[in-house]
């Protein structure tokens, strides 16, 4: 065997162990008894210790030094790029620090959940301050004198900097704010009302998952407080949530997570348990979930079909026809929760978090001032005050588990989705006719072929540029949003 063969065999075992650790996280959110949290924190810390040791194993360094990348094909070179990047980054973080972070963030997740339920930010603040202290220490180790937040971003979107995002988001925010104000001043579509059986919601949501190509033989749908997708390859699981008065929350959370899961399920099987066998970045990942959820799932054509499915499931629910239903699905309304936000206002939620977490990492914002800073920014952007912490600073799980640098990838994914949608519509002129029948196969096949199958073969922005035929830009997304919402609101 060659040094490359030895390295890949070792890497496959590391990847497999990483999948096991991910399954522990899935279980913690779905099935784990509440009282098991302290033990699970120990288990997660132990797994992270093992994984960290494997990622910085001296043999990996020896193999990397022994391999001439130029002798490898494109797949081999891409594997080397990922392994080398991981090895160099992980080697900068002391093992003891990585273990402390894993243990703390596992425990912090439960503390956050209890504080959220009690609407008590002060109960979570000391733990969050400790998480931030450790993550800042990790970021300083990774940055090696450079920008700490940029070092954190590299875990989720390699090749992107805080300055890049600041420029992109700075161009988006005034356009979104102006469009939001114009739309909110106009008469809006009818709001959905009534009671929708949660069992019937779950039945229809599984139908929707299959309609978007989710392979239930390699996945499952469960319920969680915060919907997510977990796993890759042959075991990719999703979660959703139900609300008796808001079935759209269930349906579109499911479609969103199916976008993530389909990406993982559709990666070339030859890449299984290799660095190429999962999504290349969170921004590209989010482009799939958002284009499934919005440009496809909230399109006039698809909502026309969904209207019929909802009538079959729930009977007459007060919306007169398909056109009215399309407006109701896309209605722009007041709300506090990012995951429940309409397509127009969603990015304003993300931009708020990006600015706050960047300030937390630089030390310009202290945890003691975070709730007030959140509330002030929210009122400035949305025009009304946050009523309670669970609708504000405590609504998201991300900071409790140390995911600093993750939030901006949501809006970056929307930007990518805008580029992809423009290209997909040009390639598939009959797409709406298919969607009107509930047939998403042309769209999902196009995305599978142009984005998903590649896994980690290319760098993130290269994936989008190859598929869309242009460098990523916020322009297609903003044009799409203007056209859509001006049409719905008759502007």
Residue of 429, 470, 464 whose CA lies nearest to 447: 464
Cα Rg of the chain (Å, integer): 22
Q: Which of 30, 404, 467 is nearest to 230 (CA)?
A: 30
Residue 187 CA from chain centroid, whole number: 32
User: Active-site residues: which are they?
Assistant: 257
Strand partners, 235: 232
E strand map for 301-455: none
Q: Report the C-alpha gap between 190 and 192 in whole angstroms.
A: 7
Contact 389, 435 (CB under 8 A): no
Q: What's 292's DSSP letter?
A: I
Residues near 205 by Cβ (< 8 Å), separated by ≥ 6?
Answer: 221, 240, 250, 251, 254
Using CB atoms within 10 Å of the CB of residue 170, give its burial: 0 to 12 exposed, 13 to 18 middle, 19+ buried: exposed
Q: What CA–CA distance (Å, rounded) separates 104 from 131?
A: 7
**What's CA 162's distance to the chain center, in Å?**
18
Tell me the three state secondary structure of residue 231: strand
Nearest to 252 by CA among 300, 301, 201, 215: 201
Cβ atoms 394, 456 nearer than 8 A: no
- As given in the structure block, the two tokens for residue 233 are 């390859």
40 alpha-carbon distance from chain centroid: 24
């Amino acid at each position: 065997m060659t040094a490359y063969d030895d390295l890949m065999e070792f890497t496959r075992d590391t990847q497999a162990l990483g999948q096991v650790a991910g399954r522990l996280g899935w279980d913690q959110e779905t099935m784990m008894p509440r009282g098991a949290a302290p033990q699970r924190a120990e288990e997660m810390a132990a797994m992270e210790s093992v994984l960290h040791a494997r990622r910085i194993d001296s043999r990996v360094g020896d193999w990397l030094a022994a391999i001439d990348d130029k002798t490898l094909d494109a797949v081999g070179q891409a594997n080397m790029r990922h392994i080398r990047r991981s090895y160099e980054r992980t080697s900068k973080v002391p093992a003891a620090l990585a273990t402390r972070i894993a243990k703390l963030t596992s425990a912090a997740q439960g503390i956050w959940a209890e504080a959220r339920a009690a609407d008590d930010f002060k109960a979570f603040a000391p733990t969050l301050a400790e998480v931030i202290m450790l993550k800042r220490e990790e970021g300083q180790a990774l940055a090696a004198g450079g920008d700490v937040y940029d070092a954190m971003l590299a875990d989720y979107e390699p090749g992107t900097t805080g300055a890049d995002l600041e420029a992109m988001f700075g161009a988006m925010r005034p356009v979104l704010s102006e469009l939001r104000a114009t739309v909110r001043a106009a008469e809006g579509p009818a709001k959905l009302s009534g009671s929708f059986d949660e069992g019937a919601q779950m039945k229809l949501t599984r139908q929707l998952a299959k309609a978007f190509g989710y392979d239930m033989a390699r996945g499952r749908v469960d319920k969680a407080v915060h919907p997510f997708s977990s796993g890759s390859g042959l075991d990719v699981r999703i979660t959703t949530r139900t609300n008796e008065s808001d079935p759209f929350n269930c349906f579109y959370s499911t479609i969103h997570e199916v976008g993530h899961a389909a990406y993982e399920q559709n990666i070339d099987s030859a890449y299984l348990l290799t660095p190429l066998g999962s999504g290349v970045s969170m921004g590209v990942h989010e482009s799939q979930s958002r284009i499934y959820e919005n440009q496809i799932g909230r399109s006039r054509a698809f909502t026309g079909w969904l209207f019929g499915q909802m009538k079959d499931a729930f009977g007459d629910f007060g919306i007169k026809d398909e056109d009215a239903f399309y407006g109701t699905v896309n209605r722009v309304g007041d709300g506090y929760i990012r995951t429940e936000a309409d397509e127009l206002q969603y990015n304003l939620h993300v931009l708020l978090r990006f600015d706050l977490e960047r300030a937390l990492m630089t030390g310009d914002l202290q945890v003691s001032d975070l709730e007030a800073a959140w509330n002030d920014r929210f009122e400035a952007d949305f025009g009304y005050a946050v009523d309670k912490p669970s609708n504000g600073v405590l609504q998201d799980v991300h900071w409790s588990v140390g995911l600093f640098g993750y939030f901006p990838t949501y809006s970056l994914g929307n930007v990518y989705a805008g580029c992809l949608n423009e290209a997909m519509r040009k390639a598939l002129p009959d797409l709406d006719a298919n969607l009107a029948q509930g047939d998403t196969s042309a769209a999902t096949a196009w995305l599978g072929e142009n984005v998903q199958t590649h896994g980690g073969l290319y760098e993130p922005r290269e994936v989008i540029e190859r598929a869309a035929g242009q460098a990523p830009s916020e322009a297609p997304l903003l044009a799409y949003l203007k056209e859509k919402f001006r049409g719905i609101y008759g502007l």
